[in-house]
Structure 1
């Protein structure tokens, strides 16, 4: 079971992908940017199709968002997705609509890779990077279609900004740090998504100090909204000199662009043998019923990242608890020898599960 990012010796950068109608409903409880599980799925699909041919293994993926346009109605506090009308039924009545949330994206994908091709010359590495980019242009990314980039005269990226790159990471130390500083400037302007499990658990501990019965769900909801509270203070009236009560409204959200995100799945059933469950889409693969798992993420400017490892997400599977989740090491995981009750272990604890999953997986807490 991996507890940290697998080894990488280089990065493959596919910049400024223009994706149309990507899936904006990332989970039963969240909407907005596609879930990281969708981008990890794109990474695994690329590896299966091209990895053996190009001599590359894909071990992690990061995303930088340069622009987004959610396909929702505008005006007021309540929004709704713009839905397409299905053809009418045979009797002329309106067919039922399955709600589909869509969003247009302008993103860059950064893959952490391992392979012998990283030791080749610049021309060979450029050819491999372009091969991956060309293949990705014909794939679905998070359910959306990859569109040609807009011309620079219409506000699109320059030819240099669109060029994919396969870059060797180099030895750890000052040389690698210097190289990464140069790379991250190419991803501006934009925002990178990183994991903030630590904020969720710290806020949970803060809530429990005031409300012992507070759950991780309470902490997650509290950080997913703006809670304004009245602060009463005594101030002197400048005209009369008397003390009067003044009220100011303040919110307690941490600084930064904090967002609720789905980060994987928790098992609700045993692992069934292939073909054992009737109606399964793939009868050659093991099957398991799961529930979404949630945590917090943060969109930060790439220039605030100190290493490429801070950016990359990777898959993690904990067989005893049936937890399948996406991890990111922007905040370092707890030491392997930490006790479960140790505060230092908090970032490694499973993030909160919906009530149905909690009933099935009490051992996760």
Structure 2
């Protein structure tokens, strides 16, 4: 898939979001899903239209500067800090519904395409004004204590201004942006199949989701071998006979970067039902389909390591005929080009 046409990058920097949804899928947590940010982009576009601003938003990227997941500090295994809900209408204590929340400081980068239209200097301020009144992944946007500072001012950069694109990524520091690494999933699956012919993509995903340690024997150099005494040689021979060899423990994350399991959209479980046919849906005027989460691997990377701003953008790829509704990111494709 190719990235949709983009004429400008619109940056809303340093947003403080409190109590956003930290549970990104049934299997992952720690940061909101990219589907939440794409949903924010579409909701923002509708709000802009209602305000009389025609600004097509085609892609979105997120840079995280700071985050604090609301979990207890109970050691290696943590649990969410839950809140007690008010009593129900009968006066009884309501059940606790487990919710994961996170406070975060983020910057949003929108890919905008105005086509043959003329860019208006007031667009960034209008977008920021509406965005400050919306929710981001269920969280509340809080205005900074000193909103007049330059670091909090929204701005836009044309795609043709290569000199400003370099400064754009520097303005997003310090922080990390999430990019897709589907290629690592394919690579890990190929590695597993060398020793486990029955390995599946789920096995590869689980393998990448954790740090795997393995013991690697160390070969002695010729000088070390020559310097061994007869007593050491006999001891080494005994260790080898017992299956013990000298070595060291290594993990498979060396040089891999900050990898995380992420949801990347939804896959269909049923056909598309006409609007209103399925009871208790959120919107009775929209066709309905049962879906499940799709998973892949993402990587957090510092913005200054990107070769283009397009690498941090995510966009929608809907293939309803195949039952796929995915979030796409062209980090690897753009990098190879």
Residue 301 of structure 1: aligned partner: 302
| 1:63 maps onto 2:68 in alignment | no
CA contact under 8 A between 1:177 and 1:307: conserved in structure 2? no
Residues 147 and 252 (structure 1 numbering): CA distance in 2 closer, same or farther, change over 3 Å? Answer: same
SS at match of 1:50: helix
Pairwise CA distance, 1:232: 2.3
2:132 pairs with 1:137: yes
When residues 249 and 132 of structure 1 are mapped into structure 2, their CA distance, relative to the original with a 3 A threshold, is same
Task: Tell me the distance in 2 between the aligned counterparts of 1:145 and 1:30.
Answer: 22
The separation in 2 between residues aligned to 1:292 and 1:94, in whole angstroms, is: 32
Once the two structures are TM-superposed, the CA of residue 307 in structure 1 deviates from its matched residue by 1.1
Q: In the alignment, which residue of structure 2 is the partner of 1:50? A: 48
C-alpha deviation, 1:327, in angstroms: 0.1
- Tell me which stretches of 4 or more aligned residues in structure 1 moved more than 4 Å: 89-93, 234-241
What SS does the corresponding residue of 2:187 show, helix, strand or coil?
helix
TM-score under structure 1 normalisation? 0.82
Question: Once the 2 structures are TM-superposed, how far is the Cα of residue 167 of structure 1 from its aligned partner?
Answer: 2.2
How far does residue 76 in structure 1 lie from its aligned partner after superposition?
Answer: 1.1
Superposition RMSD on alpha carbons, in Å?
2.1
Q: Would you say the 8 A contact 1:25–1:32 is kept in 2? A: yes
In 1, distance between residues paired with 2:280 and 2:320? Answer: 25
Structure 1 residue 158: deviation in Å?
A: 7.6
- Between the aligned partners of 1:104 and 1:228, the Cα distance in structure 2 is 32
Indicate the SS of the match to 2:46: helix
Summarize the alignment of residues 103-122 of structure 1 with structure 2, pairs less than 5 Å apart.
103-115=102-114, 119-120=118-119
Corresponding position of 1:355: none
3-state DSSP of counterpart to 2:71: coil
Segment drifting more, 88-97 vs 59-68:
88-97
How many angstroms does 1:166 deviate by? Answer: 2.3
SS in 1 for 2:19: strand
* CA distance in 2: counterparts of 1:73 and 1:108, whole angstroms: 27
Deviations 1:266-301 (A, max 9, x none): 000000110111111211101000000000000000
The equivalent of 1:324 in structure 2 is 325
Range with greater deviation from structure 2 (257-266 or 72-81): 72-81
Gaps of 5+ in 1: 152-156, 171-175, 334-365
- Where does residue 98 of structure 1 map in the other structure? 97
Shift of 1:42: 0.5
Match of 1:162? 152
1:51: how far off?
Answer: 4.0
Q: How far apart, in 2, do the equivalents of 1:233 and 1:273 lie?
A: 64
Consecutive unaligned residues in structure 2, runs of 5 or more: 237-244
Q: Tell me the distance in 2 between the aligned counterparts of 1:57 and 1:27.
A: 28
Number of residue-to-residue matches in the alignment: 317
The 5-angstrom pairing of residues 188-227 of structure 1 reads 188-227=173-212
